[in-house]
Amino acid sequence: MSNVFDACVVGSGIAGLSAASLLAKEGLKVLVLEQNWIPGGCTSSYPRKGFVFETGATTLVGLERNMPPGYLFNKLNIEIDAVKLSLPMQVHLSNGKTISRYESLDKWINEAELKFGAKNQAKFWKFCFDVANFVWDTSLKQKSFPPDSFSDLFDCAKNANLKQLQYARYALKSMKTLLAEYGLLENRTFVNFCNEQLLITSQNSIEETNVLFGATALCYTNFPNYYVNGGLINLVNPIVDYIEQNNGEISLRTGVTQIEKKADNYVLHTKDNSIKCKFLVSSIPINNTLQLIDFPTRSQFNSSNILQSDKLNSAFQMGIAFKDDNQLDAIHHQIHLEKPLVEICSKSIFLSLSHPNDNSRYKEAGYKVASISTHVHDPENNIIENKEAVESEIINQLEKIGFLDKQNIAYMHSSTPKAWHKWTQRAFGFVGGYPQYMKTKPWQMLSARLDGDKAYICGDTTYPGQGIPGAVLSGIIAYEKLKKDHL
Ligand SMILES: Cc1cc2nc3c(=O)[nH]c(=O)nc-3n(C[C@H](O)[C@H](O)[C@H](O)COP(=O)(O)OP(=O)(O)OC[C@H]3O[C@@H](n4cnc5c(N)ncnc54)[C@H](O)[C@@H]3O)c2cc1C
């Protein structure tokens, strides 16, 4: 491996790979350094005991060209082997009702009226869907957002329209206020539903999620949802191939331990090597980035904007392979619990199954591979002492709803925040990005320019935060800002 590159990207998560591939397309010689043995970070898959498990993410939206992943794949001319889900998700309430989250807005409104009562559901969902469409449409039109230079401000103003100015006010309003305006706050079943659905998207509740993000998050299932055959590693591998075919390199098992800034380059130290580059993109969380660098950052990255464990979440996750030939209506299920889960105290679990037509994730027909996850708040202080008790309660819940029969489990394993720390090195083992908080408006979220010079940052702790589409967009924005500043 050469020791001099145009650009080094720390971390091969979906954000880092997005930025790296666009820089490689620009003709730069790019090196991606990844501490793990496989690329993808929280968006990846790994083989174990003849089955293929997902590391973290399981649901996927955004393969359309006006959404960040679709935009990226179109730019790179990459086709993803994915199928559109006919029913994106089902939610199983603790009162025994099952709610089908249909993609079609009309069908979904019928279902919501049936399950939550007709009062104002249609009006509420039409409003949310309008906001969601606006947010997705705007996200790629404003690639200098959040602005942190005069030229960004100029670009934002150039691309602004009346609707953007009108809708900016929804960043100041919480989802709780919106529910109150629609007279839905007294509908406890609906409020619980919204809170648990927001937790898997905005990582927070109706009180802390603004309407721009919250309405978009609640309408996640009203946009095409996809399943990537073979697991989400097949979303990542084509980007890795693209980088390698375009003069770039991915160096696995290469953790960066320190980054120095010299007069005209950055020097990245690993256990065995020192690598020089002109441009640096850190795609690991800002908490981790600050521990690696020896140079001052822009004032935006001061300690008050860096969230600590008490404001973050990790996950307890299980991978279960089991024999089963039950045909289900959906592969993604959120299950609301009657009482909080032992030790963790979360009130819902999320179950994703391998697609029935994808037989590449198990050794013989008749198996399913399940990923199950639940939130662990404040992972530094929420130590899971008895992981077997949590595993057994989750399995009991799944049995109760009829998803599996314990007798048929061929293999299972689970991971706690400690395992997440080991897998991704993310501070406290937190995952899922920085949660939404009302005090942080979209334009105050962490931006891509790290030191105001040639170092940039992307990933799910920077704008716009959560999920695969958000992380991809953060990579696109880091590339755009770097290009505008220097190329
Ligand atoms: C359980 C779970 C379920 C989720 N479900 C969904 C979902 O269904 N849909 C969805 O869209 N999103 C989901 N997400 C969120 C989504 O997976 C993440 O937001 C996204 O993958 C984050 O990507 P990233 O590139 O920002 O960070 P990461 O994926 O964390 O990537 C960072 C990479 O950097 C590497 N690294 C760290 N430190 C160093 C170092 N010092 N040197 C070199 N490499 C380093 C890590 O190993 C890692 O590969 C889920 C996340 C989890 C954990």
In one-letter notation, the amino acid at residue 204 is N
Q: Kindly report the backbone phi and psi dihedral angles of residue 450, in degrees, each rounded to the nearest multiple of 5, phi listed first.
A: -85, -50
Q: Which of 220, 255, 287 is the last residue of a domain?
A: 220
Angle at 255 between CA 251 and CA 259, to 5 degrees: 105
User: Using a 6 Å cutoff on CB, does residue 285 contact ligand 1?
Assistant: no
Structure tokens at 264: 């005209």
Q: Which of 161, 187, 220 is the last residue of a domain?
A: 220
Both 241 and 276 in one domain: the answer is yes
SS3 54: strand
Q: Which of 220, 238, 258 is the last residue of a domain?
A: 220
Q: Which atom of ligand 1 is nearest to the CA of 431?
A: 53
Contacts of 181 (CB under 8 A, 6+ apart): none
User: Using a 6 Å cutoff on CB, does residue 59 contact ligand 1?
Assistant: yes
Residues 30 and 392 sit within 8 Å (Cβ to Cβ): no
Both 240 and 216 in one domain: the answer is no
Angle at 72 between CA 71 and CA 78, to 5 degrees: 110
Q: Which atom of ligand 1 is nearest to the CA of 11?
A: 34
Structure tokens at 51: 């089955």
SS3 165: helix
The reply to whether 96 falls in a domain is no
Whole-Å CA distances, 456 to 156, 277, 453, 466: 19, 13, 8, 18
Instruction: Name the domain count of the chain.
Output: 2
Q: Is 157 exposed, middle or buried (0-12, 13-18, 19+ CB in 10 A)?
A: exposed
User: Using a 6 Å cutoff on CB, does residue 432 contact ligand 1?
Assistant: yes
Q: Which of 100, 331, 364 is nearest to 228 (CA)?
A: 331
Both 191 and 167 in one domain: the answer is yes
Structure tokens at 282: 């850190």
Question: Would you write out the chain's pLDDT as a tens digit for each of its 487 residues?
Answer: 679 999 999 999 999 999 999 999 999 999 999 999 999 999 999 999 999 999 999 999 999 999 999 999 999 999 999 999 999 999 999 999 999 999 999 999 999 999 999 999 999 999 999 999 999 999 999 999 999 999 999 999 999 999 999 999 999 999 999 999 999 999 999 999 999 999 999 999 999 999 999 999 999 999 999 999 999 999 999 999 999 999 999 999 999 999 999 999 999 999 999 999 999 999 999 999 999 999 999 999 988 899 999 999 999 999 999 999 888 999 999 999 999 998 898 999 999 999 999 999 998 889 999 999 999 999 999 999 999 999 999 999 999 999 999 999 999 999 999 999 999 999 999 999 999 999 999 999 999 999 999 999 999 999 997 899 999 999 999 999 999 999 9
The reply to whether 85 falls in a domain is no
In this structure, what CATH number is given to the domain that contains residue 465?
Answer: 3.50.50.60
CA of 229 to the centre of ligand 1 (A): 20
The reply to whether 456 falls in a domain is yes
The dihedral region occupied by 373, where left means phi > 0, alpha psi between -120 and 50, and beta the remainder, is beta
Both 26 and 9 in one domain: the answer is yes
The reply to whether 322 falls in a domain is no
Q: Which of 315, 2, 345, 300 is nearest to 152 (CA)?
A: 300
CA of 424 to the centre of ligand 1 (A): 7
The reply to whether 97 falls in a domain is no
In one-letter notation, the amino acid at residue 297 is T
Q: Which atom of ligand 1 is nearest to the CA of 332?
A: 8
Q: Which atom of ligand 1 is nearest to the CA of 423?
A: 47
**Domain carrying residue 256:** 4-44+228-306+437-486
CA of 473 to the centre of ligand 1 (A): 14
The reply to whether 326 falls in a domain is no
Both 212 and 244 in one domain: the answer is no
User: Using a 6 Å cutoff on CB, does residue 14 contact ligand 1?
Assistant: yes
Pocket test for ligand 1, best of 42, 249, 377, 457 (most atoms within 8 A of CB): 42
- Alpha-carbon distance 232 to 460, whole Å? 17
Both 297 and 444 in one domain: the answer is yes
pLDDT in tens, 29-58: 999 999 999 999 999 999 999 999 999 999
The reply to whether 282 falls in a domain is yes
Residue 1: per-residue pLDDT: 64
The reply to whether 354 falls in a domain is no
